Amino acid sequence: MSKGRDLKPHIGIFGRRNNGKSSLINLMTGQEVAIVSEEAGTTTDPVKKSIEIFGIGPAIIVDTAGIDDSGELGEKRVKKTYDAIKTIDCAILVIAKNEFGFYEKELIKKFCDYSIPYFIVHNKSDLQPLEQLTRENIATFSKAEVIDFSVANHTQTDTLVELLKKTIPETSFQKPSLLGGIIEPNGVVLLVTPIDSEAPDGRMILPQVMAIRDVLDNDNICIVLKETHLKQYFEQHKPEPQLVITDSQAFEFVNSIVPAHVPLTSFSIVFARLRGDFDHYIQGTPTLSELNDGDKILILESCSHQVSCEDIGRHKLPKWITEFSGKKLDFDVVAGLSDIPEITNYRMVIQCGGCVVTRKQLINRLRPAVNANIPVSNYGMTIAWINGIFDRVIEPFKNKINS
């Protein structure tokens, strides 16, 4: 499954083999996107399919392998099913034949571990309706809503969709403002966008594009320039910006030019407020001044990409942190949504901006470190701390964190 490549809300379908998960997906999408068979174990790796849900909008349905799969290959499929939980915004647990036991309880525990909202569908009710005893059994373990359902009865689809709309977090499909509460209407926002070897050919990165649109949506004038024209802008006494947003890697240079009374931050930090674990980033960043020889630092990249000598996660950050701390440090880099090594081995975790993953995926990626009380930061805040301007770049967000 190509995880983390689509920012639409992800809805996972879970349950035992032959409970009708794939049939349910075909009904919801209105087409045969999942293989339906009487043979158990037809679905292997999790499969994703785009869908449009009225009242929610575009979403991704994730079909997973049966949680009761067996054998060596089956165990690998089950692991991928559990891994998929970390990437979704809402879950549908499909049961049938009034079976609710170990497998369902294990899934529910995982849903709770990762704060995944869910509801339960008792499928194939045309063959065997949901019994009151089963409802009572479920109620002793879960407060989730339960519906009796049959894919053979298409009139029930609306009931399923309404329950989905009720269950899925609005934050997963609403489009919150990147700069809402930070900038006032009818001003100027200056975006400093360096063009170096890491910049994609012929286009801008997602946070830059989102910032341009958000400035306009907030009824402001958006000015975009390279760092080489920043001094010229201020020398020509152009309209003073109410906010300057720059690439974090240009902090030192931009900070030296932008007047101290003009608010300054970075694309990475603005994006972290929208999508990342902003409060924990702020709390954890000062740990950079407390590192000791032999400390291990984990760098979490959300995307997999070709590595260059100017790669920030693999080359620049380790170099800058080492020089700043004056300590002998070890760095590990984990890209994409690959498995993370034993988290307690690390003194600190530093996460990228996560522009190619959903908020839920980014938060759950960091959850093991937060739960283990390991300090965390993100690229932008780390670079700001190293350059001694952390307080300045956080100032625009004070009293507005997670507002």
- Whether 151 and 27 have beta carbons less than 8 Å apart is answered as yes
Residue-wise pLDDT for 323-346, tens only, equals 999 999 999 998 876 778 899 999
Of 49-58, 193-202, 249-258, 342-351, the poorest mean pLDDT is in 193-202
Distance CA 47, CA 62 (A): 6
- Mean pLDDT score of the chain, rounded to an integer? 85
CATH of domain 188-271+390-397: 3.40.50.11420
With a cut of 60, say whether residue 3 has pLDDT above it: no
Could you read off the pLDDT of 282-321 as tens digits, one per residue? Answer: 999 999 999 999 999 999 987 654 444 357 888 899 999 9
**Does residue 347 carry a pLDDT above 90?**
yes
Query: How many CB atoms neighbour CB 400 within 10 A?
Result: 11
**What is the pLDDT at residue 335?**
82
Q: How many CB atoms lie within 10 A of CB 262?
A: 15
pLDDT 10s digits, 109-135: 999 998 899 999 999 999 999 999 999
CATH architecture of the domain 10-172 equals 3-Layer(aba) Sandwich (3.40)
Report the alpha-carbon distance of residue 367 to residue 361 in Å, rounded: 10
Domain boundaries, the chain: 10-172, 188-271+390-397, 279-385
Q: How far is CA 173 from the centre of its chain?
A: 13
Query: What are the φ/ψ torsions at residue 316 (nearest 5 degrees)?
Result: -65, -50
Q: How many CB atoms lie within 10 A of CB 100?
A: 23
Do the Cβ atoms of 79 and 104 come closer than 8 Å? no
User: What pLDDT does residue 175 have?
Assistant: 63
Straight-line distance from the first to the last Cα atom of the chain, in angstroms, rounded to the nearest whole number = 34
Q: Among residues of the chain, what percentage have pLDDT more than 70? A: 86
Q: Does domain 279-385 have CATH number 3.40.718.10?
A: no
Q: Tell me how far apart the alpha carbons of residues 238 and 232 are, in angstroms, rounded to a whole number.
A: 9
What does the pLDDT read at residue 215?
94
Number of other CB atoms surrounding residue 297 within 10 Å: 25
Model confidence over 167-218: pLDDT tens digits?
887 655 556 688 888 999 999 999 999 876 565 566 677 788 889 999 999 9
CA Rg value for the chain: 24
- Same topology for domains 10-172 and 279-385, yes or no? yes
Q: In what order do the strands lie in the sheet with 188-192?
A: 221-225, 188-192, 243-246, 264-266
Q: Is 18 left (phi over 0), alpha (psi -120 to 50) or beta?
A: left
The model's pTM is 0.71
pLDDT exceeds cutoff 60 at 386: yes
Nearest 5 degrees, angle CA 4-CA 165-CA 111? Answer: 55
Residue type, 236: Q
* CA angle 204–209–213, rounded 5-degree value: 155
> CA-CA distance, 354 to 145, in Å (whole number)?
32
